[in-house]
Amino acid sequence: MTRERIAGEPAELLVDDISVAYNDKPAICDVSFRIGHGERMAVVGPNGSGKSTLFKALVGLLPLRKGRILIHGHPLGHHQDCVAYVPQREEVDWRFPVTVADVVMMGRFGHIRLLQRPSPEDREIVARAMAQMAVAELAKRPINELSGGQQQRVFLARALAQEPHILLLDEPFTGVDVATQESTMALLDNLREEEVTMLVSTHDLNLASRFDSILLLNRRVVAAGSPAEVLTREHLTAAFGGQVLVLNNGIAVVDRCCQVAREGEPS
């Protein structure tokens, strides 16, 4: 999979002092961070902390109340097809009557001109993406007939077919089987070699510690930096309050059953 960077532009994502609200109720406030070309960042925080809101803002699904988002040095919409977004499974209407192949081909829409049919190259990229995520044999199956893990792999294949420079994965490890978790991790490792910039939201602090950097979020940025800088007792307590236990060996365990979503935003 080849990706030609845009000449003269910084291959990075810059989020500068953004705020987003639902029905005039603040969801995230004054959020700023920068992620470099090819970097992997974990976005961590309790339910209701604004992780999903942030991802939706990054792809233009939610308007900003203030601030700016720059991709390759340009505002949203300049070349939006370079950003692939995989939402949480519960946010997808699985009743929509499409096949697996149709869903994965959607990843090519940003590369196909209006009223133009997919080219042989488009079909080859889609077939390769389905094979990589082990869903090629499901190509003709309706998406709503698949298991949760299979559906997740199909959406990851769609993201692959888009050939993104930046990949956003919202809680990709939640509610899926072990095989899907392993295939997702393998995908992240492969895309790291291809220098794809990645933001992945997760509740798993041990998993987050394997990323280049962590954004700890609770409506505002609690901390941002390397895992060693962010995963401290002080920062985790500030983000999770009584929901986090920091043991002597440095392992943090979050009591997820006690996390109650705040009004207006699921996670």
Give 168's Cβ-side CA count (13 Å radius): 21
According to the model, what pLDDT value does residue 203 have? 83
According to the model, what pLDDT value does residue 149 have? 86
The residue behind tokens 């953004």 is: 18
Q: What are the domain boundaries of the chain?
A: 13-258
Cα separation, 169 vs 267, whole angstroms: 13
According to the model, what pLDDT value does residue 251 have? 53
Instruction: Name the pLDDT band for 256 (thresholds 50, 70, 90).
Output: low
Count the Cβ atoms, other than its own, within 10 Å of residue 72.
20
According to the model, what pLDDT value does residue 101 have? 94
Average pLDDT on 84-104 reads: 86
Largest CA distance in the chain: 61
According to the model, what pLDDT value does residue 245 have? 67
pLDDT tens-digit profile of 123-148? 999 999 999 888 999 999 999 899 88
Tokens of 25: 């109720």
According to the model, what pLDDT value does residue 105 have? 93
According to the model, what pLDDT value does residue 79 have? 63
> Is pLDDT at 7 greater than 50 in this prediction?
no
Instruction: Name the pLDDT band for 80 (thresholds 50, 70, 90).
Output: low
Tokens of 264: 């207006």
> How are strands ordered across the β-sheet holding 13-22?
25-35, 13-22, 66-71, 74-75
pLDDT tens-digit profile of 138-184? 999 999 899 888 888 899 999 999 998 899 999 988 877 788 788 78
Count the Cβ atoms, other than its own, within 10 Å of residue 239.
23
Q: DSSP of 141-179, one letter per residue?
A: SBGGGS-HHHHHHHHHHHHHHT--SEEEEESTTTT--HH
According to the model, what pLDDT value does residue 261 have? 42
According to the model, what pLDDT value does residue 188 have? 85
> Is pLDDT at 2 greater than 50 in this prediction?
no
Q: Which CATH class is domain 13-258?
A: alpha beta
* Long-range contacts of residues 29-35, Cβ cutoff 8 Å, at least 24 apart: 29/219, 29/220, 30/67, 30/220, 30/221, 31/67, 31/217, 31/220, 31/221, 32/67, 32/221, 33/215, 33/221, 33/224, 35/197, 35/199, 35/213
Helices 148-161, 120-132: axis angle to 10 degrees equals: 140
Beta-carbon contacts of residue 50 (< 8 Å; ≥ 6 apart): 20, 27, 28, 31, 217, 218, 219, 265
